[in-house]
Amino acid sequence: MRIRQQSGLSLMETLLVLALLAVVMSWAVPQYQNHLRRGQRQLVKLSLMQTAQWLERAAAIQGSYPTSQQVPTALLQISGGAYQIQLQTDPTANTFALQAVPQASQAPDACGVLTLNHLGEQGVQYASLSAKECWGR
């Protein structure tokens, strides 16, 4: 009689592989989500700068910053809906303030609300990181 050798993984080997996979995934998934948030943050920083530039050009032509109703809606929208850009202008003081408020999956971002004003000051609100850390990365 010939003994047939079995091939394949035992239950213990399968459980070990699954446990290792779970450990790797518990590290990889948050890293991937942070990477996506960082990418969305870069996109909104670019949008804030473009909107501020548009406001400066409009102010140079009109003599004062336009109101939020006069700004094209395309400037205040971010693809993917990760942020909502809000604009506050004060025509009497000739100032503006832009805020990028995180939405949905971007809400737990460590940089919170990104801000930019008429002086070019870059800031953050409700953030666990500093403005320099958020705007610099």
On whether residue 5 sits in a domain, the answer given is: no
Q: Is residue 37 part of a domain?
A: yes
**pLDDT at residue 65, rounded to an integer:** 92
Q: Which residue carries 């460590």 as its tokens?
A: 110
Indicate which CATH number applies to the domain containing 114: 3.30.700.10
Residue 90: the pLDDT is: 87
The answer to the question of residue 61 being in a domain is: yes
pTM of the model: 0.81
3-state DSSP assignment of residue 118: coil
State how far the Cα of 43 lies from the Cα of 37, in Å rounded to an integer: 10
- pLDDT reported for residue 1: 65
Q: 3-state SS of the chain: helix, strand, coil percent to 5? A: 50, 20, 30
Give the total number of structural domains in the chain: 1
Low-confidence ranges of the chain (pLDDT < 50): none
Starting at the earlier edge strand, list the strands of the sheet with 113-117: 83-90, 95-102, 113-117, 122-125
Tell me whether residue 67 is in a domain.
yes
Residue 44 counted as domain residue: yes
Range of the domain at 86: 11-136
